[in-house]
Structure 1
Amino acid sequence: MKHLKSHTDEALVVLLNNDDERAFLEIYDRYKDELATHLVRLLHAAELAEEVLQDVFMMLWEKRYEMDASKSVPAYLYRSAINKSKNIFRKIANDNRLREEFLTYFRTANNNIVEEWMENKEIQQLLQTLLDRLPPQQKKVYMLCKLDGLSYKEVSEKLKISITTVNSHIRNANIFLKGELKNQSELSGFLYIILILLVF
């Protein structure tokens, strides 16, 4: 495979289109370390980053006939990595068991991780922007329950509204916020899941 090191990415893709495993291995060797570093920064979890890395290159091989030699290989790999990361985060966000496992993982690594997230300026700004889009009463109920940690009963008594009304506000806020987060395509995968974990 040594002689392939001098090949351009374009030449390697042409070989890849023709089932050349050596070309695939050369692309893997050429970009795996850089992509792995990017994934660790994105996911903040080395094991998860390794899993996504392998998935990205597996997909590269599976779609070798579709690869366009005129397109950038690293751009393709990075785009695939981001898409796979977001899919993982969305799966975690929508699965209570996975969400708890994810939080447990970070709490084990760092007992102050949630507090650090809440102190992160970017997270604070994004969270505030999302909450400001809620109707005033809904926002007040949501913040008392989710951020201040009051029970539905305590919020009901504090605001002089029924527990049913509190529950309705929380349910509608969750629907709205989850929809807003899914539309935040500019968020990094890590920020996406952290916001999901903090507000739901």
Structure 2
Amino acid sequence: MAPYTQYSDEQLFQLLHSGGERVFEEIYQRYHKPVYAYLMGFLKDSAMAEELTHEVFMKVWEIRGQVELHTSFSSYLFRICHNKAINALQKIAVDNKLRARILLHLQSQSSPDISNAASLQEYDRLLENALESLPPQRRKVFLLCREEGKTYDETAAQLGISRNTVKEHMVKAQKALRNFLDEKGEIAFIMMMLADLF
């Protein structure tokens, strides 16, 4: 069999139907940098672009065998990128809007009822507790990438671990943080408090 480097993108995608990790690796090698560059252009955030790049390729792997291409593979791939980027930007906008509305709500009250209103201090405390729930190394990776804006490569070099290990920590950290906040009911709590503001 000829090396996968000689196959077209569309041929490689068809071969993915039978599941081959080597085929997937070839697709990843071809498109990792273009996908990252595309997402970086949207997000202007290296850590987030890295995370979404990982999600894009995981999506390609998960849907292998379920999709028939009616366009070029590159068009299909970058449509996934575009959707991921738009969703991420919308989430950022919602988070920022929510935080701003909490602040405005608190500022409008001369004596806010702490038992019934979620303060920014409480909001930040929940996030801090969520971070504290992470294993030390995972928390360190997350803070370097998210708080300090370091790339996966920079974080890997600073901590003396591989880039793939950094990526794995970030994926697991985000999942753990979402689960923690869901369990604490933080989202429902804040949304109930702000129900009359929307």
TM-score between the two structures when normalised by the length of structure 2: 0.47
- Tell which structure's C-alpha radius of gyration is larger: 1
